[in-house]
Amino acid sequence: KNGSFQNLSNKFTWKDVQKESEKKKWKGVPLFIKSKSVEFYHFFKKEFRLVIHKGMVTTCSFGKPHYSIHASKAEVQGKKEKKIITLHSMTFQIKNSPLFYLPYFYWDTTWNPFVPSIRLGSTSQFGGFALLKWNLPQGILPGKETFLLDYFQKRGVGTGLMAEFGKPRYRWEDKPDKRAFYGRADGYFIHDQAENKQDRSGFIFPRKDRYWIKWLHMERLPGDILFTGEYQRYSDNGLQLEYKEKEAKEDKGVENYVYFQKNMDAFGFTALIKARLQNPDEEVEKLPQLTWESFSIPLFPLFNKPVYFDFKGELSFLRHFQPLRFKSDRESGRLDQKISLFSSQRLGFLVIRPFWEGRFTGYTKNVQGKKDYRILFASGGSLSSHFWRIYSLPFLSFSKWKHTITPEIGFESIYYNSLDPSKILQFDEVDSIRKGDSFTYHLRNRLLARTSKVSETYRVLEIHLFGRFFPKRKENFEILNKEWGLLRGEFYLNPGTILFDKKGWSPISQLGITFVGDFQYHPYQGKITVFNLGLQIQEQNRWNFLLSYRFHRKTSEALTFDLRIKWSQKWTGRFYYQYDLRQKRLIQQSYQLGRKLHQWYLLIGFETDQGLKDTRFTFNLAPLFMGTMEKTFGFEHSIGYSGELYRLPGS
């Protein structure tokens, strides 16, 4: 504030610098400078030189900084990713009191980018632990690297390296004609010293040296061909569940594949090689699998509407590993070609969508080890309608409402199948198709709202019901020997952003409320077999409350409470509980308290898990400007409500 910002012959006041920062939305660590003069020189190849005379520098945002660095002269020169900082007559002060003095200070940021993050804690399974994460200097290796060094009291020392390079795929569209790539790698090794070589799941690992290697690479090749390759390897089958429990429970299996994809207008081609390099029994190898397909090619008009043609084909060699020694692996070559004809016709307020499908599938081996083939014909269609009405009703922050109801009935008949599935080696859904008829019914109910000030439309309410009916009872695999299948439903309710204060409705605070859930109903038992409900209430940038109920008649019934609070710009907290309603006991509880200390963040947490009989304490202190790459450990997780609630039709 006492000086000027000088760029060669141009001079800027402090207010000009503030306006420029707001205009360009500069991000990063806030840097406050108070000096007699500031000079900035910009050279070619993005090189620069910054000189500060008789200045003070701090990252503390308080009126009177708690800490600051004073120097008679400070110079910063280099590029964005590599800088050299020199200070002359440097003094480090705390509340204007000198702490120490250095006549000369030199810092090459290439080798000292960030202070490592250290996390301390204790669990009954791993004992005390200390986790160190350090972002390595950029420019030495291509990309962003993070070094990991972990100590577990009951397991020993583990070390790892995470790397990320290139640009994510969603950023490739900026330059569609240029080469683009993205990749990430993750490697970890630990000499596991667990007693009796047994982890908490009861798995006895064969050797103490345990490791994992993961690699993913995506690239746009010449000719607009997308390449994706992934390699994963774990030293034993129990390692993923022990140290990467979240991935294991989310069914992220170990996959190794190479994949090519090419799209041309209405046609698409893919090539996949997927090999089994680990031990999952359910893995089906594709060595290789080639596919080709078309997308809605118009053929000829029918009642002023076109008839479309689709085809989809596959040529592959499949192999399925059999864990039992007296059984040989299932393997067969397969050629599958499907063609479809369909159209969409309007008859008054009804929409009719008929279709016909023919399919040929050839196999090099059947269950008897001989060549075989299958011919299949199917036909059917759907009948639907769409009803809607608009209401002009000012309520809350909305001015107009639109209510839509969409009923739909579908029919599918596989009237010819030349080969019974019992004679085919089963690899996937292509081989399990059976002859039969089925009806489907859907009912969608949606309520949309539009704001008055800004013309934006929100989905306020959606209810979706769907089920199946089988004329022949034996074809119903959901409920054997019954015609009606299970009735399923999904619902979503979001009243939108409510503006309120203590006196009444006004734009002071923003409160959002969301209900989401699903259920499954057994029509013959007259009971709900599955029911999930989630309620989320949040006030923007202040607190977030989640209450969820999970019910499964055969397995469990639990209630989850999760509250996150931001009391101020410094203090945050979290309270988490999960209660088993059948056993009438608290399964898991967690408490976290966070404190912002200038540009650092302190987190203290305590957690007990009655299911795993585990007690945990964590302590973490890390700078706010650390990179975004994180490492997740299996014993640091939260169990909350999860389900297919957010994948609603039309969303």
pLDDT at 273: 93
User: What average pLDDT does this structure show over 388-410?
Assistant: 87
Nearest to 67 by CA among 55, 52, 57: 57
Dist CA 642 CA 644 (whole Å): 7
Answer whether 12's CB lies under 8 Å from 46's CB: no
User: What average pLDDT does this structure show over 97-107?
Assistant: 81
Would strands 83-94 and 436-451 be described as parallel, antiparallel, or unpaired? unpaired
Residue 647 has pLDDT above 90, yes or no: no
Give the pLDDT confidence of 425-436 residue by residue, as tens digits. Answer: 988 889 988 888
Give the pLDDT confidence of 494-534 residue by residue, as tens digits. Answer: 865 554 444 444 344 466 788 899 999 999 989 999 999 99
pLDDT at 14: 47
Task: With residue 518 as reference, give the H or E element that holds it.
Answer: strand 509-522
CA dihedral over 642, 644, 647, 649, signed as positive or negative: negative
Would you place residue 81 in the very low, low, confident or very high pLDDT band (cuts 50, 70, 90)? Answer: low
pLDDT at 617: 77
Residue 251 has pLDDT above 80, yes or no: no
Dist CA 48 CA 30 (whole Å): 19
Nearest to 212 by CA among 187, 241, 184: 187
Fold of 5-108: lipopolysaccharide transport protein A fold (2.60.450)
Tokens standing for residue 173: 């569209």
pLDDT at 260: 95
Residue 478 has pLDDT above 60, yes or no: yes
CA angle 411, 416, 422 (to 5 degrees): 105
**Which residue is it, tokens 């000079």?**
39
Instruction: Write down how long the chain is.
Output: 651
Dist CA 138 CA 131 (whole Å): 22
Tokens standing for residue 513: 């409320």
User: What average pLDDT does this structure show over 321-327?
Assistant: 63
CA of residue 82 relative to chain centroid, distance: 32
Percent of the chain topping pLDDT 90: 32
* 62 vs 231: which has the higher pLDDT: 231
Residue 20 φ/ψ, nearest 5 degrees: -65, -35
Nearest to 622 by CA among 148, 114, 161: 114
Residue 164 φ/ψ, nearest 5 degrees: -140, 130
pLDDT at 645: 25
Work out the mean pLDDT of the chain and round it to a whole number.
79
pLDDT at 176: 63
Domain segments of the chain: what residues? 5-108
pLDDT at 107: 72
DSSP symbols for 157-194: EEEEEEEEEE--GGGGGGSTTS-EEEEEEEEEEEE---
State in Å, rounded, how far the first CA of the chain is from the last one. Answer: 51
pLDDT at 43: 67
Percent of the chain topping pLDDT 70: 78
Residue 197 has pLDDT above 60, yes or no: yes
User: What average pLDDT does this structure show over 407-424?
Assistant: 93
CA dihedral over 16, 19, 23, 26, signed as positive or negative: positive
pLDDT at 469: 92
**Which residue is it, tokens 């009916």?**
469
Residue 416 has pLDDT above 60, yes or no: yes
DSSP symbols for 193-219: --GGGB-TTS-B-S-SEEEEEEEEEEE
Nearest to 152 by CA among 185, 130, 184: 130
Answer whether 554's CB lies under 8 Å from 543's CB: no
User: What average pLDDT does this structure show over 246-275?
Assistant: 83
Would you place residue 635 in the very low, low, confident or very high pLDDT band (cuts 50, 70, 90)? Answer: very low
Dist CA 149 CA 128 (whole Å): 14
Partnered with residue 218 across adjacent β-strands are 182, 228
Residue 382 has pLDDT above 90, yes or no: yes
Answer whether 278's CB lies under 8 Å from 285's CB: no
Give the pLDDT confidence of 590-615 residue by residue, as tens digits. Answer: 999 998 876 677 888 888 877 666 67
pLDDT at 49: 82
Residue 640 has pLDDT above 50, yes or no: no
Would you place residue 84 in the very low, low, confident or very high pLDDT band (cuts 50, 70, 90)? Answer: confident
Dist CA 117 CA 496 (whole Å): 39
Residue 415 has pLDDT above 90, yes or no: yes
Residue 612 φ/ψ, nearest 5 degrees: -95, -5
**Quick check: helix, strand or coil at residue 249?**
helix
pLDDT at 634: 26
pLDDT at 616: 74
* Helices and strands per DSSP (H, E), number in the chain: 3, 36
* Residue 100 CB neighbour total at 10 angstroms: 8
Answer whether 109's CB lies under 8 Å from 126's CB: no
Residue 559 has pLDDT above 60, yes or no: yes
pLDDT at 175: 64
- Give rounded-to-5 percent helix, strand, coil for the chain: 5, 60, 35
Would strands 180-191 and 350-363 be described as parallel, antiparallel, or unpaired? unpaired
The DSSP call for residue 477 is: S
* 178 vs 101: which has the higher pLDDT: 101
Nearest to 299 by CA among 347, 378, 356: 356
Buried b (16+ CB within 10 A) or exposed e, 528-556: eebbbbbbbebbeeebbbbebbbbeeeee
The residue type found at 62 is F
Residue 26 has pLDDT above 50, yes or no: no
Answer whether 496's CB lies under 8 Å from 397's CB: yes
Please tell me whether the peptide bond between 288 and the residue prior to it is cis, using omega within 30 degrees of 0: yes
pLDDT at 458: 79
The residue type found at 44 is F
* Residue 243 CB neighbour total at 10 angstroms: 25
pLDDT at 135: 76
Dist CA 428 CA 330 (whole Å): 12
User: What average pLDDT does this structure show over 212-226?
Assistant: 90
pLDDT at 324: 61
Lowest mean pLDDT among 346-350, 389-393, 480-484: 480-484
Would you place residue 642 in the very low, low, confident or very high pLDDT band (cuts 50, 70, 90)? Answer: very low
Dist CA 562 CA 27 (whole Å): 31
Residue 413 φ/ψ region, left for φ over 0, alpha for ψ in the -120 to 50 degree band, beta for the rest: beta
pLDDT at 123: 73
The beta-strand segments (E) located in 386-486 are 387-395, 398-417, 436-451, 457-469
Dist CA 6 CA 52 (whole Å): 10
User: What average pLDDT does this structure show over 346-371?
Assistant: 93
Residue 24 φ/ψ, nearest 5 degrees: -90, -5
Tokens standing for residue 101: 């003095």
User: What average pLDDT does this structure show over 353-375?
Assistant: 94
Residue 337 has pLDDT above 90, yes or no: yes
Would you place residue 626 in the very low, low, confident or very high pLDDT band (cuts 50, 70, 90)? Answer: very low
Residue 228 has pLDDT above 50, yes or no: yes
* Residue 468 CB neighbour total at 10 angstroms: 19
570's CB contacts (< 8 A; 6+ apart) are 595, 596
User: What average pLDDT does this structure show over 455-477?
Assistant: 84
455's CB contacts (< 8 A; 6+ apart) are none
pLDDT at 475: 75
pLDDT at 637: 26
